[in-house]
């Protein structure tokens, strides 16, 4: 099977009609009609075998992850998913691998109502998948990192550190524990999109570790924060849970701020949608994060940083 | 220097204001305003060290090439370049390498009036650059592969096979010959964009070899063609020129068809813009390419195919 046959068999079926697609896969480019009165949001993320996922990861999980990490960026921008392209570099064409990869990818694409519109399939010694996603938002409603203001409450959308815990179990040889799931199958928080857009003031997805990602949001907004360590949602059965919650990556939860005036609307809407959320701190004037304990006792010294792709010699974390 | 510092130093300066960019690099995604009454065209292409360019390629040439191969797709669609994202996977951050890469990239980006709006920089054992480009066309005017009709004349925009010739010289150890240039520095045919849009009926860029790429165009249009081998523009000093012109890749010239009724307008416009072009054949009913000689003598048997990423064990061609 060559490149063109592989595209026709596995990827062309993922390019469905509709959704503003005038011409999908199969030409030099796709022709798309953007909805009127909306802005576009575009983001791109690459995952590399042995760096962002173990080399023995199931192909369906690779396909899922490649799209999940990108969708998470759209969610954090408050953007509705529309289209995506896939650039896949792989050592060889094995039909069983490609079929499973495409299934993992398409399972999530259908859930997110996002359509494959183009791609490139090339040979490389190292399996690498780059997806570029395009979403849309009503004009002026994109949610930026820079919108946080002193007084805003800081929320996260779920338990942090579970992906890193899953990775540790995987590296330990476990293949069947349900605690692998957050690492194997990260779920971008799609149901948050309309709620964030209507009530949040700033948002970021937690991909490189909560401490680092909240830091990015605060820096962009030119504000500081107090964070209550006792309120960080984590798995308390795990002795490493605080470290993993603060510095572990790949959670793909959301961190966002809500102004006090919108708190009751926010809580009502999130509960109606059956979404979990945790208030972890407040935005304050100044710079940096002040870590605190609920009982006012001194906080342990928080050191370290999240994931930096070039800081570590081996698999991330 | 870490990932975030590298992005801030080398790539953030490439994200300029204007051109519908509400928010550029630095958030989870870019926020863009598409022009009214235009459709979007999106394409993506990956280049891998040792596969699409030699591992000892100058970094500026890698940056140039990563964008050039993508712009060539926009040209073939008749689309005006607007925005691009860059996903760069590389073994380590070396500032001199990144600075030269960014210069090569930005030199072409400025010429094409295309703006960097996002990206991802990750570690990988193999240098890999994926660019996704977005262009715009007036509604309904995107140029597809599928528009060719019997009677159309077939043109190419320049001499074919020079990139493969350049690669052979490079592999031979030459580093200073001006004949390396088509391979080191492929120029997407940007000036053709408005002319193709107004006069051509179908187009494709010649990236995998003329025979294969014309074949794709004919197949998409459900037509055949006669091609006059004596009219294929090539470097006749080179004994391998016909093979290289038909089956060599990476030329990034254009192959397009023009209906008879528009031939004089086409020639006048192309000449006014000082663009070279060569008429090489005609679209006919049926299927496949009938290779001919000007004097009616029998054509040599044309066998072989263009580049297929998985067919060959080493560097392409």
B92 to chain A: which residues are within 8 Å by CB? 310
A93 contacts B121? CB cut-off 8 A: no
Higher model confidence: residue A235 or residue A295?
A: A235
Is the pLDDT score of A245 beyond 90? yes
Q: Which residue of A has its CA nearest to B311?
A: A2
Q: Which residue of B has its CA nearest to A315?
A: B123
Q: Which residue has the tokens 């999130």?
A: A270
> What integer pLDDT is reported at residue A309 of this predicted model?
55
Is the pLDDT score of A96 beyond 60? yes
Average pLDDT, chain A: 92
> Which of A32, A73, A74 faces B39 most closely, judged by CB atoms?
A32
**How close A294 gets to chain B, by Cα (Å)?**
31
> What integer pLDDT is reported at residue A224 of this predicted model?
97
Which residues have C-beta within 8 Å of that of residue A203, sequence separation ≥ 6? Answer: A76, A77, A78, A143, A145, A196, A217, A254, A255, A256, A257, B28
A83 to chain B: which residues are within 8 Å by CB? 42
Which token pair is A95?
A: 């039909």
A34 to chain B: which residues are within 8 Å by CB? 34, 39-40
User: Is there a contact between B203 and B196 (Cβ–Cβ < 8 Å)?
Assistant: yes
A254 to chain B: which residues are within 8 Å by CB? none
pLDDT in tens, B32-72: 999 989 999 999 999 999 999 999 999 999 999 999 999 99
In the 8-state DSSP scheme, what is residue B315?
A: S
B76 contacts A135? CB cut-off 8 A: no
pLDDT in tens, A168-210: 999 999 999 999 999 999 999 999 999 999 999 999 999 999 9
Is the pLDDT score of A281 beyond 70? yes
Is the pLDDT score of A316 beyond 80? no
B126 contacts A126? CB cut-off 8 A: yes
Is the pLDDT score of A257 beyond 60? yes
A26 contacts B42? CB cut-off 8 A: no
DSSP string, B106-120: HHHHHHHT-EEEEEE
Is the pLDDT score of A287 beyond 90? yes
> What integer pLDDT is reported at residue B302 of this predicted model?
73
**What domains are there in chain A, each with its CATH number?**
3-138 (3.30.1330.10), 145-292 (3.90.650.10)
Task: Tell me which residues of chain B have a pLDDT lower than 50.
Answer: 312-317
**How close A85 gets to chain B, by Cα (Å)?**
7
What separation, in Å, do the N-terminal and C-terminal C-alpha atoms of chain A show?
Answer: 37
Residue A113 pLDDT class (50, 70, 90 cuts): very high
> What integer pLDDT is reported at residue A264 of this predicted model?
97
- Taking the C-alpha atoms of residue B21 and residue B3, their distance in angstroms, rounded to an integer, is 23
Strand arrangement, sheet containing A224-228: A202-206, A253-258, A153-156, A278-284, A224-228, A288-292
User: Is there a contact between B64 and B130 (Cβ–Cβ < 8 Å)?
Assistant: no
User: Could you tell me the pTM of the whole model?
Assistant: 0.94
> What integer pLDDT is reported at residue B3 of this predicted model?
77
The percentage of residues in chain A with a pLDDT greater than 90, rounded to a whole number, is 83
A93 contacts B44? CB cut-off 8 A: no
Is the pLDDT score of A312 beyond 90? no
A40 to chain B: which residues are within 8 Å by CB? 31-34, 40
User: Is there a contact between B116 and B87 (Cβ–Cβ < 8 Å)?
Assistant: no
């Amino acid at each position: 099977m060559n490149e063109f046959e592989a595209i026709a068999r596995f990827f062309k079926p993922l390019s469905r009609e509709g959704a503003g697609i005038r011409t999908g896969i199969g030409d030099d480019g796709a022709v798309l009609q953007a909805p009127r009165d909306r802005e576009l949001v575009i983001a791109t993320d690459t995952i590399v075998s042995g760096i962002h996922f173990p080399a023995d990861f199931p192909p369906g999980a690779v396909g899922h992850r490649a799209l999940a990490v990108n969708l998470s960026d759209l969610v954090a921008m408050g953007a509705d998913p529309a289209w995506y392209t896939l650039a896949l570099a792989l050592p060889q064409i094995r039909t069983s691998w490609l079929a499973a990869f495409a299934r993992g990818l398409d399972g999530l694409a259908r859930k997110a109502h996002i359509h494959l519109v183009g791609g490139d399939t090339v040979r490389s010694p190292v399996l690498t998948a780059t997806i570029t996603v395009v979403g849309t938002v009503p004009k002026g409603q994109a949610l930026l990192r820079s919108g946080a203001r002193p007084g805003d409450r800081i929320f996260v959308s779920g338990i942090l550190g579970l992906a890193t815990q899953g990775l540790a179990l995987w590296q330990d040889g476990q293949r069947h524990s349900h605690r692998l799931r957050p690492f194997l199958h990260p779920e971008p928080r799609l149901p948050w999109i309309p709620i964030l857009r209507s009530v949040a003031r700033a948002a970021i997805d937690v991909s490189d570790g909560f401490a680092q990602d909240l830091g990015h949001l605060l820096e962009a907004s030119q504000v500081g924060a107090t964070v209550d360590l006792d309120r960080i949602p984590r798995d308390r059965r795990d002795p490493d849970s605080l470290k993993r919650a603060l510095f572990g990556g790949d959670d793909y939860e959301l961190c966002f701020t809500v102004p006090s005036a919108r708190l009751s609307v926010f809580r009502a809407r999130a509960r109606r949608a059956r979404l979990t959320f945790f208030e972890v701190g407040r935005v304050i004037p100044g710079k940096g994060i002040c870590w605190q304990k609920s009982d006012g006792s001194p906080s342990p010294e928080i050191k370290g940083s999240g994931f930096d792709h070039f800081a570590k010699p081996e698999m991330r974390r």
